[in-house]
């Protein structure tokens, strides 16, 4: 993807070379083309890099800012290939995964049916599977996650450890280990994320959902809200049964 930025403070060829040098040292930037006369820089990157990261890479002499047309590109979040598809088609991978998790949870309990056991298996498999997809890109996931998760925005480290939190919760549910603690953590973690998802949906921003990491480009939709709500309801019901 290529984005254009305005850069003030450049006065000569050495300034141009300096800007290209500093920006070129940032990870995931593959090409930089600086136009000294226009005071602009076209930057090609493997994945979206926040503007503040680009600003911080330059000396104070240079001021980098977004061009207005860039907002239209960001709103798409690389959904060009799926923008014409229906919501169902876009979210098909998510629906398939939830279907398989539900089916597996039913099969594990069909001989001696127990709702609590079903919910434990569902929640355990849910966290294990979803954390797996996040693990595929541990470097890229935090950037996508903090675009809508309130806690990840304030504490970037939280986004880095989130996949491991999901893995731990999944194992705790499947192994029936400290279930009450796992349920409380689940409520806290998913409630925080759901708040961010709700704000995103209400603002009608088009961003990528990081629920399945960055391997699958899923748009943030009502399905993400429903997915989190189901887990929150299950955790709440189980806590009521325990206490």
- What is the CATH classification number for the domain harbouring 10? 3.30.70.100
* Overall domain count for the chain: 2
Would you say residue 74 has pLDDT above 60? no
133 and 72 both lie in a single domain: no
184 and 214 both lie in a single domain: yes
**pLDDT class of 220 with cuts at 50, 70, 90:** low
| In-domain check, residue 112 | yes
Burial label, 8 (beta-carbon count in 10 A; 0-12, 13-18, 19+): exposed
Q: Say what the pTM is.
A: 0.61
59 and 148 both lie in a single domain: no
Q: What are phi and psi of 211, to 5 degrees?
A: -60, -30
68 and 91 both lie in a single domain: no
| In-domain check, residue 146 | yes
**Per-residue pLDDT, 129:** 93
66 and 93 both lie in a single domain: no
133 and 48 both lie in a single domain: no
| In-domain check, residue 155 | yes
173 and 93 both lie in a single domain: yes
| In-domain check, residue 81 | no
**Per-residue pLDDT, 123:** 94
Rounded to 5 degrees, what angle do the CA atoms 20, 25, 30 make? 75
**Per-residue pLDDT, 213:** 67
Q: Report d(CA 214, CA 42) in Å as an integer.
A: 24
71 and 186 both lie in a single domain: no
- Kindly state the percentage of the chain with pLDDT values over 90: 30
Give the HSE-up count for residue 99: Cα atoms under 13 Å, Cβ half-sphere.
Answer: 6
Would you say residue 216 has pLDDT above 70? no
Q: Please give the average per-residue pLDDT across 147-174, as a whole number.
A: 93
Q: Report d(CA 224, CA 116) in Å as an integer.
A: 24
The separation between CA 6 and the C-alpha centre of its own chain, rounded to angstroms, equals 28
**Per-residue pLDDT, 72:** 42
Would you say residue 224 has pLDDT above 80? no
Would you say residue 48 has pLDDT above 90? no
**pLDDT class of 178 with cuts at 50, 70, 90:** very high
Q: Which of 79, 73, 76 is nearest to 3 (CA)?
A: 73
Give the range among 97-101, 114-118, 142-146 with minimum mean pLDDT.
142-146
| In-domain check, residue 51 | yes
104 and 37 both lie in a single domain: no
| In-domain check, residue 82 | no
Give the range among 69-83, 113-127, 196-210, 228-242 with minimum mean pLDDT.
69-83
Report helix angle 115-135 to 92-107, nearest 10.
140
71 and 151 both lie in a single domain: no
| In-domain check, residue 139 | yes
Task: Select from 45, 76, 107 the last residue of a domain.
Answer: 76
Report helix angle 115-135 to 156-174, nearest 10.
140
**Per-residue pLDDT, 75:** 45
Would you say residue 89 has pLDDT above 80? no
Give the range among 23-27, 193-197, 203-207 with minimum mean pLDDT.
203-207
Q: Report d(CA 200, CA 205) in Å as an integer.
A: 6
Q: Could you tell me if 145 and 200 are in contact, meaning their C-beta atoms sit under 8 angstroms apart?
A: no
Q: Which domain holds residue 27?
A: 2-76
| In-domain check, residue 116 | yes
């Amino acid at each position: 993807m290529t984005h254009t930025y305005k850069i003030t403070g450049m006065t000569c060829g050495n300034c141009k070379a300096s800007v290209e040098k500093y920006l070129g040292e940032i990870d995931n930037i593959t090409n930089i083309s600086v136009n000294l006369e226009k005071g602009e820089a076209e930057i090609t990157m493997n994945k979206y890099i926040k503007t503040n990261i680009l600003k911080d890479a330059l000396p104070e002499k240079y001021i980098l800012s977004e061009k207005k047309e860039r907002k239209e590109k960001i709103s798409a979040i690389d959904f060009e290939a799926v923008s014409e598809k229906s919501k169902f088609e876009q979210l098909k991978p998510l629906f398939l995964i939830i279907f398989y998790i539900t089916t597996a949870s039913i099969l594990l309990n069909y001989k001696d049916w127990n709702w609590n056991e079903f919910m434990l298996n569902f929640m355990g498999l849910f966290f294990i599977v979803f954390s797996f997809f996040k693990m595929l890109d541990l470097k890229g996931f935090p950037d996508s996650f903090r675009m809508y998760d309130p806690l990840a925005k304030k504490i970037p480290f939280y986004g880095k450890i989130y996949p491991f939190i999901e893995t731990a919760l999944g194992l705790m549910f499947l192994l029936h280990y400290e279930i009450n603690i796992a349920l409380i953590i689940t409520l806290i973690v998913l409630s925080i994320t759901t708040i961010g998802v709700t704000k995103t949906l209400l603002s009608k921003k088009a961003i990528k959902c990081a629920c399945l990491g960055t391997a699958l480009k899923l748009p943030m939709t009502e399905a993400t809200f429903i997915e989190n709500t189901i887990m929150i309801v299950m955790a709440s019901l189980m806590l009521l049964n325990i206490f």
